[in-house]
Chain A
Amino acid sequence: QQQVKQSPQSLIVQKGGISIINCAYENTAFDYFPWYQQFPGKGPALLIAIRPDVSEKKEGRFTISFNKSAKQFSLHIMDSQPGDSATYFCAGAYSGAGSYQLTFGKGTKLSVIP
């Protein structure tokens, strides 16, 4: 079964600190790993994504680290702000057989306290 395991389930970080969320996947056919951010009552929005041919991608305060051999990837949020408080989902996707499906982790609720 294609699974993406995400941890922790919830995370509390002080303002200015580093938030780290981890994901592990099983399906070695995955060729795209996005992170989505969701605020309460809203739909998720793409935050940052990586493909397995690179080990790190940085966009502003957000960085994905990718370890292909361990089948793990993580999201680092530097200088965390109260506005970053949201639920974060990692996902894996593959385009086998002409289809494209995202398999999501169960989410991490991040709270950044002042």
Chain B
Amino acid sequence: DGGITQSPKYLFRKEGQNVTLSCEQNLNHDAMYWYRQDPGQGLRLIYYSQIVNDFQKGDIAEGYSVSREKKESFPLTVTSAQKNPTAFYLCASSIVPITGGNEQFFGPGTRLTVL
């Protein structure tokens, strides 16, 4: 069964704590992405990676960090510096297109709530 898994589905965090969201894919995709979704705001890109050991900031990277040590895994850490972390977080992956775009496959998401 190929796809993207995210864990946990729900996550609660106290203010001042760092938390790490897991994202794993077995689609053999080179590119992986993290998005944040807030009601009425669409999906906003946090970080993306096109190859192992390399990643780029997206539009809203402040307060977040990532690593890409393995092709299959792209964990996201929400740090205490992120002022409003409560949101739905989505991980995605795709092949790296030569020209034009290609489908991004999304995981089921992690809902993070700061208490």
Write the residues of chain A forming the contact surface with B, with a CB cutoff of 8 angstroms: 6, 9, 31-32, 34, 36, 41-46, 49, 51, 89, 93-95, 98-102, 104-107
B100: chain A residues within 8 A (beta carbon)? 31-32, 51, 93, 95
Shortest CB distance B74–A (Å): 14
- Are B101 and A102 within 8 A (Cβ)? yes
In contact, A101 and B96 (Cβ under 8 angstroms): no
- If over half of B's interface residues share one DSSP class (helix, strand or loop), that class is named, otherwise mixed; here it is loop
Q: How far is the CA of A19 from the CA of B4 in the complex (A)?
A: 30
- Give Cα distance in the complex from A58 to B108, angstroms: 27
Q: Could you tell me the distance in whole angstroms from the C-beta of A10 to the nearest C-beta in chain B?
A: 10
Q: Evaluate contact between A100 and B43: CB separation under 8 angstroms.
A: no
B53, CB-defined interface residue at 8 Å = no
6 interchain residue pairs of minimum CB distance: A32-B101, A43-B106, A93-B101, A106-B42, A104-B42, A104-B43
Interchain pairs with CB closer than 8 A, number:
69
The answer, among B42, B102, B107, for a CB contact under 8 Å with A100, is B102
Q: List 17 A-B contacts (CB under 8 A).
A: A42-B109, A43-B4, A44-B90, A46-B104, A89-B43, A93-B100, A94-B101, A95-B97, A95-B99, A100-B50, A100-B96, A101-B48, A102-B101, A104-B42, A104-B43, A106-B41, A106-B42
- CB neighbours of A98 from chain B (8 A): 50
A107–B109 contact, CB under 8 A? no
